[in-house]
Amino acid sequence: MVGPELFWPQDDNKQPYWPNLTYFHLTYAASTPSGEWLFERDPRCPEYNFDRNPENLYMRPPMDDAPQDEFPDDYRTAPSPILNRLYIAAAYAARHMPKLETMSLVGQVQAGLNGLLGQNILQCEIKHEFYYEREQGRVSWNIVENDSTRPNIVQNTG
């Protein structure tokens, strides 16, 4: 779990400084330490719905997960406002890392398990990425979707 406070304290008077950090890579979960979700339900993605047909030999109890064991973030693929705050905090922090060469933050979302089971494909497979590269001198973040018909969203900061 990660939140904006990892990169930038809530008290703006205490600016962080990482004088020797050169590379930073983080793959993060779908929620913050305070319990806020970084992703919301994307209405374009199918609802989470496993086939619970008792005659299905492959999904018969005890192999079938109990409803309370299902992933609570399976349908959460659209970025929530706190994800944007996380990326802005990381961009501010990158400015205080004089030796930083690259920084990447990657959020892998769970979406699509019912597509995998039902049709042998992932539905709505999405990866959220934040990337900083010193040579470029800029920070960008985007949403990479498996479906090539949907546009990528890219935001840049100076």
Q: Taking residues 6-18, report their average pLDDT.
A: 84
Backbone angles phi, psi at 7, to 5 degrees: -100, -35
pTM for the full predicted model = 0.67
Domain boundaries, the chain: 4-155
Q: Which helix (H) or strand (E) holds 83?
A: helix 81-94
Could you tell me whether strands 39-41 and 23-28 are parallel, antiparallel, or unpaired per DSSP bridges?
A: unpaired
β-pair partners for 27: 106
For the ranges 8-17, 18-27, 125-134, the one whose mean pLDDT is highest: 18-27
Q: Which of 40, 123, 113 is nearest to 78 (CA)?
A: 40
Interval 51-108: pLDDT, tens: 555 565 565 555 555 555 555 556 677 888 899 899 989 998 998 999 999 999 988 7
Contact partners, residue 144, CB within 8 Å, separation at least 6: 126, 127, 128, 129, 152
pLDDT digits (tens, 9 = 90+) for 101-141: 999 998 877 654 444 444 433 445 567 888 888 887 777 77
95 Cβ contact list (under 8 Å, min separation 6): none
